[in-house]
Amino acid sequence: MLFGSTQNVNFLNKLYLDNLLIRSGGELIVRNWKEGRDFIFVKKTSKNLADALKKMKFDGYDPRRIQLEDYDDEYWEVKGAPEPATYGAGLMLGVLGLVRYRRRQKQRSARLTSERHFSTTRGAAVSDRFHLIWELALSLRDKTNSQI
């Protein structure tokens, strides 16, 4: 079963089934399924649902964690649960983002502290870098004047 399309990502795809039966030795692989865009609904009166769920796979999702959620009085919603690696990748991105945020905050705090130090000791417009460059320029000027 192929869900969704790379061209029509804004459309909702809904599949309503009265009875989900997957024969012995068969399996149902759901591809391109995306939570929030694609939906599979099976009637609550489906006699073979428990067996069929064991034979279903969602590409990119953990095959052992297919979920049934109550949709309404008549239907169950069948969902795939993301693989643990997906959660791990998301968690890692979150941690890296937090580390980067904390480093920036620390750098910003250090920069503000040093700017306050410079404004009290040397004036607001003069920084260490400018001061070093100025001294270098003066020494180069003195060396060139002495060579002429």
pLDDT at residue 100 in the model = 86
Q: Quickly tell me which residue has 């700017």 as its tokens.
A: 115
pLDDT at residue 63 in the model = 67
* Domain assignment present for 65: yes
pLDDT single digits (tens) 21-64: 888 888 888 888 777 788 888 888 888 888 888 888 887 777 67
* Domain assignment present for 109: yes
* Dist CA 126 CA 130 (whole Å): 6
* Dist CA 33 CA 53 (whole Å): 16
Domain count across the chain: 2
Q: Quickly tell me which residue has 């980067």 as its tokens.
A: 100
CA proximity to 112, closest of 100, 130, 124: 124
Q: For the chain, which residues score pLDDT lower than 50?
A: 124
Domain residue limits at 28: 13-82
* Domain assignment present for 54: yes
DSSP track, 83-124: PHHHHHHHHHHHHHHHHHHHHHHHHHHHHHHHHHHHHHHT-T
Question: Are 109 and 142 in a shared domain?
Answer: yes
Q: Give the CA distances from residue 130 to residues 16, 50, 116, 125, in Å, rounded to whole numbers and listed in that order.
A: 71, 74, 16, 9
Question: Are 41 and 74 in a shared domain?
Answer: yes
* Dist CA 78 CA 55 (whole Å): 13
* Domain assignment present for 107: yes
Last residue within a domain, chosen from 82, 106, 131: 82
Global pTM exceeds 0.75: no
pLDDT at residue 139 in the model = 81
